[in-house]
Structure 1
Amino acid sequence: MPNLLPDAGPQRVLTASNFVYTIGSGLYLTAGVLYFTQSVHLPAAQVGLGLGIAGFVSLVLGIGAGHLADRHGARGVYAATLVVRAGATGCFVLADSFWPFVLAVCAATGAQAAGVAARSPLIRHYGGDRPQEFRAYLRSVTNVGISLGALLAGWAVQVGTHTAYELLVIGIAVSTAASAVVLVRLPAVAPAPATGGGPRWIALRDRPYLLLTALDGVMAIQFKVLTVALPLWLVVATTAPRWLISGTMLVNTVIVIAFQVRASRGIVSPTAGGGAYRRSGVAFLVSCSLISLAAGVPAWAAATLLMAAVVIHAVGELWHSAAGFEVSFALAPERATGQYLGVFGLGAGLAEALGPVLLISLCITWGRPGWYVVGALFALTGLAAPLAVRWAQRQQHAERGQFEAPKKMVNADRPSGRLTA
């Protein structure tokens, strides 16, 4: 990235808020589950069930928060989601049994999903001519913040005391609240004007966009490959050294930080986004195949195959993310950005809730054939994406024609204003 920081102004404020927030995300992603299992001493099965419930609850909240951001101002709604998440995270220290844990984690996860949707109008408004590229930049910043948070969480995990874990939870809450405080410097965005008549929830009636949401959700299962399936496969099916788990995550994070913006610059239209989906599907197929081949070979060969697979997977991840940024913004009407991006987040939410179970069942329980099935699923989804993009573009052009036709008829009745001889 030639410019490590955007120009002073709203973009820099959004970047700073995002960076502070993602440090807390890194703390939570690294040691959040360990806090409940090792410090609160909840059974792992209960923690998994509670997180699954929270994942499904969050699916609904994203759409509603996005709609509120469109109609009542995105900055205030987004800041409110951060405050709610900070408070809910702070309540983790009071969750000493299953149901208090479920309530707290549902509130925190729901606020997180709502915040993603509520932030979308801010990215579109302050992202310049290419908000998709600014979104890619924020993803690079996100990975930097998560990496720092993961390093800090390592201290709590290493110490392993109840006090250390509680300090970690407090750190997550403080980071989230600080992110909301930073937003005070961000100028407010005027709510989008309400359109007279017609349905309110237009995103839920946009069938091509819903299809793209579903396809992106299937593709988003790839995020769980490196965090769920590959570590388990490395331990149970290969002779590769276990420290390689950290190595694979580090390589993936460095590639995303260094190249996400560059990868997104070439994706400048929905058509290009569809092509990027197709390439990412092929990359994931190759990556999954290499991971499967790492079983039953010497340690050095397994390590080589796994690292090669991670690099190829990271390239596919760059294309997948860039494609999602492009189609989700370009195919959403500006007046309903929050609502549309809230709907688009449903795909990632389903992948978050169902991805681990699917990958464990296919790749770990079934074994090597399951990796080929998962890779083929990614490849077929990538092949279907360009068709869905073309359908969405046809509908978008038709709707624009219906909107512009009455406008042209009105203008035709007006005097041209030209001087005549």
Structure 2
Amino acid sequence: MLWPLTLINTFGNGLFRVNSALFFTHVGDMTAAQFGTGLALGGVCGILASVPFGRAADRWGARRVLMVLWSAEAVGILGYTQVHSFWMFLLLICPITAVDRGAVVAYRALLATALPQDGVVRARAKLRALANVGVGLGAGVGGIALAVNTPTAYFAVIVGDCLTFVVAAVMLAGLPIAETPAAVAAGQDRRRSGVLRDRRYVLFSAICTVLALQFGVFEVGLPLWVVRDTSAPRAIVAVSLVMNTALVALLQVRLSKGSEDSVGAVRHGERAGWLLALGCAVFVVSRSGSAIAATVLVLGAALVMTIAEVYFAASSTTLSYNLAPDGQAGAYQGLFQSGTSTATSLAPVVMTSGVLQFPVWGWLALGGVFAIAGTSLRWIDVETRR
């Protein structure tokens, strides 16, 4: 019953994401540096907002909070049509990013109660696969606006994204999802201890933050690496990104098998860490050789890292729910998502100022960090339920 919501919402995300940079720099009268600065400051707001919004979901119900946040985000997104300066952009991007991160947390908290306990891992995997499909479809449609490249086309994209939030909020209101008041009450009673005092969960979130740096490889590292350090054609960047999106959608359900319990999820996470390390090593090798060899190696590295991404998603999703006490899914998902947001903010800096500045040792060091992070999941006492 949640699949239409996921498809509609992620379609809007893909629609706007592929156009945002050109819209704000060409229509919004900002420089690329100003746009990047605004995104970074918005990211900080998103990190800070995750846990408070998660607690709100526990207290007032995830569905109610999610409906409010999606409605607020629709209004904020529509406000982008009035942006013609950096300061106006900054005034909007900070609260919108905070609300967006809060909506992600509330959505994940909703999954804790809305999905059937039988086959919950498979259901989450299906929703993640569907999310990739939605983003891909949205990006494809958004490409039309890029080709047209007029203010009217970009405004249409913004209005379209706004409508996806409105439609999703209305549909959510009509879904027969019953949140258990007892679970909410339990969360209120236990909140005194606080998620930040749960050392086990804090350690788990920190490890996942490190592993989530992998997303910077496809967004920043791979494109710059191909252009600057290999003989592979530039078109291979687009091929790699399409392959990543398609394979995640196709493999997420299948490769999530075995991660239904916490012990199996740890194995998946460890496997992800070592596969990421292998992918980094293959990138190093792709630096030398003919265009054909470089193309094959880059695609090979992208394939390995895509499989690692699927394993990591299965592992982190299961553990993020299983390690949280009953009734506090919102607060705990808030902490987990704040780590993911931190990784998203740091990844471009890690790639551009670290890995790509030292082409061989940078990749090898990043791979070593991934391997250590994946292996360190063994340190967590996942068999003790709190």
Contact 1:132 1:329 in 2 (8 A): no
CA deviation after TM superposition for structure 1 residue 198, in Å: 5.3
Q: Which amino acid aligns with 2:168?
A: S
Quote the residue 1:128 is aligned against: 116
Output aligned runs, 1:12-31, within 5 Å.
Answer: 12=1, 14-31=2-19
Contiguous gaps of at least 5 residues in structure 2: none
Q: Deviations over 1:191-243 (max 9, x none)?
A: 43424765436211101100100100110010111111001111111121111
Q: How far apart, CA to CA, are the structure 1 residues paired with 2:275 and 2:282?
A: 11
Contact 1:270 1:327 in 2 (8 A): yes
Does the alignment pair 1:354 with 2:320?
no
Q: How far apart, CA to CA, are the structure 2 residues paired with 1:71 and 1:349?
A: 23
Q: Which amino acid aligns with 1:142?
A: A
Quote the residue 1:75 is aligned against: 63
Does the alignment pair 1:194 with 2:185?
yes
Does the alignment pair 1:225 with 2:225?
no
Change in CA separation of 1:151 and 1:387 when aligned onto 2, cut-off 3 Å: same
Q: How far apart, CA to CA, are the structure 1 residues paired with 2:278 and 2:12?
A: 33
Q: How far apart, CA to CA, are the structure 2 residues paired with 1:140 and 1:261?
A: 7
SS of 1:365's partner is: coil
Q: How far apart, CA to CA, are the structure 2 residues paired with 1:201 and 1:47?
A: 39
Does the alignment pair 1:337 with 2:325?
no
Does the alignment pair 1:282 with 2:274?
yes
Does the alignment pair 1:206 with 2:194?
no
Change in CA separation of 1:98 and 1:283 when aligned onto 2, cut-off 3 Å: same
Q: Which amino acid aligns with 1:74?
A: A
SS of 1:41's partner is: coil
Q: How far apart, CA to CA, are the structure 1 residues paired with 2:164 and 2:191?
A: 39
Q: Which of residues 145, 150, 169 in structure 2 aligns to 1:156?
A: 145
Change in CA separation of 1:386 and 1:209 when aligned onto 2, cut-off 3 Å: same
Q: How far apart, CA to CA, are the structure 1 residues paired with 2:144 and 2:193?
A: 46
Alpha-carbon RMSD across the aligned residues, in angstroms, is 1.5
Does the alignment pair 1:62 with 2:50?
yes
SS of 2:30's partner is: coil
CA deviation after TM superposition for structure 1 residue 254, in Å: 1.2
Output aligned runs, 1:44-123, within 5 Å.
Answer: 44-123=32-111
CA deviation after TM superposition for structure 1 residue 366, in Å: 2.2
Q: How far apart, CA to CA, are the structure 2 residues paired with 1:168 and 1:197?
A: 44
Relative to the length of structure 1, the TM-score reads 0.87
Contact 1:278 1:379 in 2 (8 A): yes
Q: How far apart, CA to CA, are the structure 1 residues paired with 2:383 and 2:94?
A: 36
Quote the residue 2:297 is aligned against: 305
Q: How far apart, CA to CA, are the structure 2 residues paired with 1:137 and 1:350?
A: 26
Q: Deviations over 1:392-411 (max 9, x none)?
A: 544x3xx5xxxxxxxxxxxx
Runs of 4 or more consecutive aligned structure 1 residues displaced over 3 Å after TM superposition: 195-201
SS of 2:356's partner is: helix
Q: Which amino acid aligns with 2:132?
A: N
Q: How far apart, CA to CA, are the structure 2 residues paired with 1:103 and 1:329?
A: 34
Change in CA separation of 1:175 and 1:302 when aligned onto 2, cut-off 3 Å: same
Relative to the length of structure 2, the TM-score reads 0.95
Does the alignment pair 1:386 with 2:374?
no
Quote the residue 1:256 is aligned against: 248
Q: Which amino acid aligns with 2:127?
A: L
Does the alignment pair 1:241 with 2:233?
yes
Q: How far apart, CA to CA, are the structure 1 residues paired with 2:267 and 2:162?
A: 40
Quote the residue 2:157 is aligned against: 168
Give the total of aligned pairs: 382
Q: How far apart, CA to CA, are the structure 2 residues paired with 1:375 and 1:280?
A: 11
Q: How far apart, CA to CA, are the structure 1 residues paired with 2:96 and 2:291?
A: 41
Contact 2:27 2:84 in 1 (8 A): no
Q: How far apart, CA to CA, are the structure 2 residues paired with 1:247 and 1:346?
A: 31
Contact 1:123 1:131 in 2 (8 A): no
Contact 1:274 1:385 in 2 (8 A): yes
Q: Which amino acid aligns with 1:254?
A: A
Contact 2:184 2:328 in 1 (8 A): no
SS of 2:170's partner is: helix
Q: How far apart, CA to CA, are the structure 2 residues paired with 1:225 and 1:121?
A: 28
Q: Which amino acid aligns with 1:252?
A: N
Contact 1:84 1:107 in 2 (8 A): no
SS of 1:366's partner is: coil
Q: How far apart, CA to CA, are the structure 2 residues paired with 1:275 and 1:175?
A: 37
* Percent of aligned pairs with the same amino acid: 32
Q: Which amino acid aligns with 2:234?
A: R
**After the TM superposition, which of the residue ranges 31-40 and 147-156 deviates more from structure 2?**
31-40
Q: Which amino acid aligns with 2:5?
A: S
From the CA coordinates, give the structure whose radius of gyration is larger. Answer: 1
SS of 1:209's partner is: helix
Q: Deviations over 1:271-325 (max 9, x none)?
A: 1111111111110111111112222321111100011111111111111000011
**After the TM superposition, which of the residue ranges 285-294 and 362-371 deviates more from structure 2?**
362-371
Contact 2:61 2:184 in 1 (8 A): no
